[in-house]
Structure 1
C-alpha cells in the first residue's frame, strides 16, 4: 500500500494511459501531498511527458522523481529543482 497523498486525482476506470502514468509516478516515489494551499505541484499527465522526463533523467543523472516533477523538461539537470519553471528560476 502506498500513501499517495490527499491531492491525488485518480484516473477514470477506462483510462489505461492515465493509470500507467500514475503507476510510474508512484513507483518512482512521487506523491500528491499538498505543500500548503497550492497542491502538490506539477505532475505529468501523459505517457509522452513521462517518457521525455525519464529520458532526461537518464541523460543527466537527475533522480527520476525529480525529473518527473519538473515542468520544463529543458530544466532537468540544470540544478534548478523541480519547481523552478513554476517560480521562474
Structure 2
C-alpha cells in the first residue's frame, strides 16, 4: 500500500486494467499529490499509458531528473 495523494480515486477492486495502470504510473513516479486542485492529466485507459509515458519522458528527461525537480521545487 502506498499513498497516492488526495486526488487519487481508486478503481473498483476487480478492475485489473485500471489497477495495472495505477501501478505503472506509480512505478514511473506519477502520483496524485498536490494542493487538492487536480493532479494534472493522467491517462484514463491502460492503452493510453505507453504514449503518455513516452511524451512525458521526451519532455522532461529521466525519472531521476523529474524526482529531483519535484524535491527541489
Q: Same fold (TM over 0.5)?
A: yes
Please classify the TM superposition score into its range, dividing by the shorter chain length. 0.5 to 0.7
TM-score, normalisation: structure 2: 0.64
> 1 or 2 for the larger relative contact order (CA 8 Å, sep ≥6)?
2
- Is 1:23 the counterpart of 2:16 in the alignment? no
How many residues are matched?
63
Conserved in 2, the CA contact under 8 Å of 1:57 and 1:63? no
The TM-score with structure 1 as length reference comes to 0.55
C-alpha distance in 2, partners of 1:51/1:23?
A: 13
Note the residue ranges of structure 2 that are not aligned, 5 or more in a row. Answer: 64-73
Structure (1/2) with the larger helix percentage: 2
Structure 1: gaps (5+ residues): 65-89
